[in-house]
Amino acid sequence: MKNQLTAIDYVVFIIYFIIVAIYGYSVYRKRRSKEHDAKAFFLAEGSLTWWAIGASLIASNISAEQFVGMSGEGFFLGIAVSAYEWIAAVALIIIAIWFIPVYLKNKIYTMPQFLTTRYNESVALIMAVFWLFLYVFVNLTSILYLGAVAINGLLGGEYLHPIMIGLSIFALLISLGGMKVIGYTDVIQVAVLIIGGLATTYMALVIVGEKLGVGSDVVSGFRALMAHAPDHFHMIIPKPNATSSQNDIDRYLTFPGLASYLAGIWIINLNYWGCNQYITQRALGADLQTARTGILFAGFLKLLMPVIVMLPGIAAFVLYKNGQLPQLIDGRKDYAYSSVLSFLPNGLKGLSIAALTAAIVASLAGKVNSISTIYTLDVHKKYINKNADERKQVITGRIAVFVAMILAILFTWKDLLGIGGTGGFTYIQKYTGFISPGVFAMFLLGMFWKRTTGAAAFVGVIVGFLLSVFFNEMAPHVLGNETFMYTAYPNANGVYEIPFHICMGLAFLFTMIIMVAVSLAGPKVNPKAFALDKEMFKLKPSSIVLILITFLILTALYVKFW
C-alpha cells in the first residue's frame, strides 16, 4: 500500500497545524499571569463563551471513535448508528435544562466532588478510581489507536507508531496550557473537522455516483446509496429469527432495534453528557445561561454529525459491495473511512486528514485534562498532599497529563487491549457500559430524590458494575439463552451473548431498585440532599426556540428513516 498524500496535502495540513499552534499560544500568553492558578488551569476561569463551550463539547466528543469507529459502524449497520448522535441531541437538552443548574448552584467542579458533596468520600474515591481507569484504558487508548490507524492507512501503512507519538505530542502541547487553551483552540478544531468532514462526505457521494455510473453529483450519489444498500437506511434493526444470517444477528447484537431506545442508548447518552468530567468540565466554570446555551448549541450541532461521520461508511459499503474498493482488505469496518479518503483529490486529502487530526487531538487534549483534574483535585490533593498550594496542583496536573499519555501509548503500541479486533466504536460503548448503569443511577437519584443515602450510592456503584459484568459475560450460561428479561444470540464465535444495550438497561433497572430499597431504610430526607429551586429550571425564550428547532429537525429525520 503506497503513500496516498502529495505535497499539496502536506501543505494544507501544515497550515492547519500552524494556525492551531499560533492561536493556542496566543491564548496561553493572555493567561500567563494566572500560570499557577488551579481554577484557571482546570476550569478556564469561567471565561469560555457559549459558542466556545458548544464548539469544545463537539470537538472533544467527535474524535477517532466517530470518524473511524462510527464510519465503520455505518459500513456495518447503516444509518441506525446515527441514533447515538441524534439521541445525544435530546440528552443534551435534558442536561441543559435539569442537570447543569444542579451542578452550578452547588458549585460542583468535578464529578467526584459531586459525590462527596451529595454522598460521602468513599463513594467519591471509588468513582474517581473507576473514571481514571476508564478514561486512560478505554477512551484515551481507543482515540489514539483508531486515529493512528486511519492516518496510517493514507501514509502507506508503515508509520503507525510515529503517528501515535505525533498525535500525542500535539495533544500534550495543547493540554499543558490548561482548559482555556483547550476550549478556544477547540473552536478552530471543530471548524476544521466540520468543513473537512463535509468535504469528505461530499466527495464520497460524488465518487459513488461516478463509480456506479449514475451521475457526478451529491444527489445521484445519495440515491445510489439508498438503491444499493436499502437495509442501511432504517433506524430500527429487526429482531433475528430462525432464518436470519449471522450477519443479521451480529447487527442486532450491536444495535438491538427498539430495545435500544427503551434503555441502553439513553443510559449511554445521559451518563456521557451529564455525569462525565470530560464533558461537563467545559460548562462548570460558566454562569447558568452561558453554560445552558453552549450545551443546547452543541445539541443542535449533533444533528449534523452523522452526515460527517456515518455517511462515508455507507459509501464505503456500497463501493466495497460493488467491487470498487479493493483497498478495503477483508471488508474490515474500522478501515472504511481511510479507504474512502484514498479517493479524494490532492489537497482535499490534506484537509480531511487535518479534520481527522483536529478531532483526535481535541479529544486527546480534553481527555487528559479531565484525567489530570480528577487525579489532582480528587485524589492527590485529598489523600497524598493535602497541603498542596495552587502552584503545586498545576504542576501535579501537568505530570498527570504526561503519565496518562505515556500509558495510552504503551497500551496502544501493539494494541494490547484488542481495540482493532472488537471494532473501535463498539469497544468504547461496551466497556464504558460496564460502569454507566451504576453511575447514572447514582447521579439521577442523588440529584432528584432527597432520600437517596450514601450507603445506597456505595451499594449502587458496586452492584451496577457487577450486574453489568454478569449480564454481559455470564447470564446466558447461568440463566439460559431465553428468559422473560432477554434473548441471547450466538455471536460470530458461536458464543451466546445478550446485546449490550439490553445488558445496560437490565443492570440500570436492578441497580435503581436496590438503591431505592437501601435508601428507604434511611431517613426520609438525607441531610446532604441538594436544595432544588424551581427558578433554576426556567428557560429563556432563546433557549426554548433552540430546543424547538432541534426537536423539529429530529422528528423529520426519524419520520424519513424509521
Q: Which of 209-218, 455-464, 548-557 has the lowest mean pLDDT?
A: 209-218
Q: What residues pair up with 489 in beta bridges, in sequence order? A: 497
What is the predicted pLDDT for the residue at 42?
52
Residue pointed to by grid coordinates 426556567: 538
Q: Which of 201-210, 281-290, 392-401 has the lowest mean pLDDT?
A: 281-290
Element housing 489 (H / E): strand 489-490
Counting Cβ atoms within 10 Å, is residue 477 exposed (0-12), middle (13-18) or buried (19+)?
exposed
What is the predicted pLDDT for the residue at 183?
60
Rounded (10°) angle between helices 160-175 and 179-211: 140
When comparing pLDDT for 256 and 277, which is higher? 256
For residue 555, the tally of other CB atoms under 10 A from its CB is 10
What is the predicted pLDDT for the residue at 293?
93
When comparing pLDDT for 368 and 327, which is higher? 368
Each domain of the chain, given as residue ranges in start order, spans 7-109+135-368
When comparing pLDDT for 112 and 461, which is higher? 461
Chain-centroid distance, C-alpha 521:
37
Query: CA-CA distance, 423 to 68, in Å (whole number)?
Result: 9
pLDDT higher than threshold 70 for residue 47: no
CA-angle at 55, arms to 346 and 190, nearest 5°: 5
When comparing pLDDT for 362 and 519, which is higher? 519
Q: Which three cell numbers stand for residue 322?
A: 460493488
Residue pLDDT, tens place only, 163-199: 888 888 887 777 766 656 666 666 776 777 788 788 8
Of 545, 471, 453, 535, residue with least CA distance to 508: 471
What is the predicted pLDDT for the residue at 506?
96
What is the bridge-based pairing of β-strands 496-497 and 489-490? Answer: antiparallel
What is the predicted pLDDT for the residue at 89?
95
Q: Which of 237-251, 268-282, 440-454 has the lowest mean pLDDT?
A: 268-282
Judged by DSSP in three states, 496 sits in strand
Of 151, 146, 175, 172, residue with least CA distance to 163: 151
Residue pointed to by grid coordinates 453529483: 217
What is the predicted pLDDT for the residue at 38?
53
What is the predicted pLDDT for the residue at 64?
64
Q: Are 195 and 348 in contact (CB under 8 A)?
A: no
Which of the given ranges, 106-115, 366-375, 435-444, has the highest pLDDT on average? 435-444
Rounded (10°) angle between helices 348-373 and 179-211: 140
Of 356, 334, 372, 360, residue with least CA distance to 135: 372
Q: pTM of the entire structure?
A: 0.84
Residue pLDDT, tens place only, 296-342: 999 999 998 898 889 999 999 999 888 888 777 676 777 788 788 77
For residues 359-373, average pLDDT: 80
pLDDT higher than threshold 50 for residue 35: no
Q: Which of 273-287, 427-441, 485-499 has the lowest mean pLDDT?
A: 273-287
Share of the chain above pLDDT 70, in %: 88
What is the predicted pLDDT for the residue at 30?
66
- pLDDT bracket for residue 426 (50, 70, 90): low
CA-angle at 428, arms to 331 and 167, nearest 5°: 80
Residue pLDDT, tens place only, 223-239: 999 999 999 999 999 99
Q: Are 47 and 178 in contact (CB under 8 A)?
A: no
For residue 33, the tally of other CB atoms under 10 A from its CB is 8
Q: Which three cell numbers stand for residue 470?
A: 454478569
Q: Are 65 and 425 in contact (CB under 8 A)?
A: yes
What is the predicted pLDDT for the residue at 314?
93
pLDDT higher than threshold 80 for residue 551: yes
Counting Cβ atoms within 10 Å, is residue 282 exposed (0-12), middle (13-18) or buried (19+)?
buried
For residues 40-65, average pLDDT: 69
What is the predicted pLDDT for the residue at 477?
94
For residue 165, the tally of other CB atoms under 10 A from its CB is 14
**What CATH architecture applies to the domain 7-109+135-368?**
Up-down Bundle (1.20)
- pLDDT bracket for residue 139 (50, 70, 90): confident
Q: What are phi and psi of 334, to 5 degrees?
A: -75, -5
Q: What residues pair up with 490 in beta bridges, in sequence order? A: 496
Residues sharing a CB contact under 8 Å with residue 33, sequence separation 6 or more, in sequence order: none
Of 336, 353, 281, 304, residue with least CA distance to 60: 281
Query: CA-CA distance, 354 to 150, in Å (whole number)?
Result: 12
Query: CA-CA distance, 391 to 377, in Å (whole number)?
Result: 13
Of 278, 491, 355, 327, residue with least CA distance to 68: 355
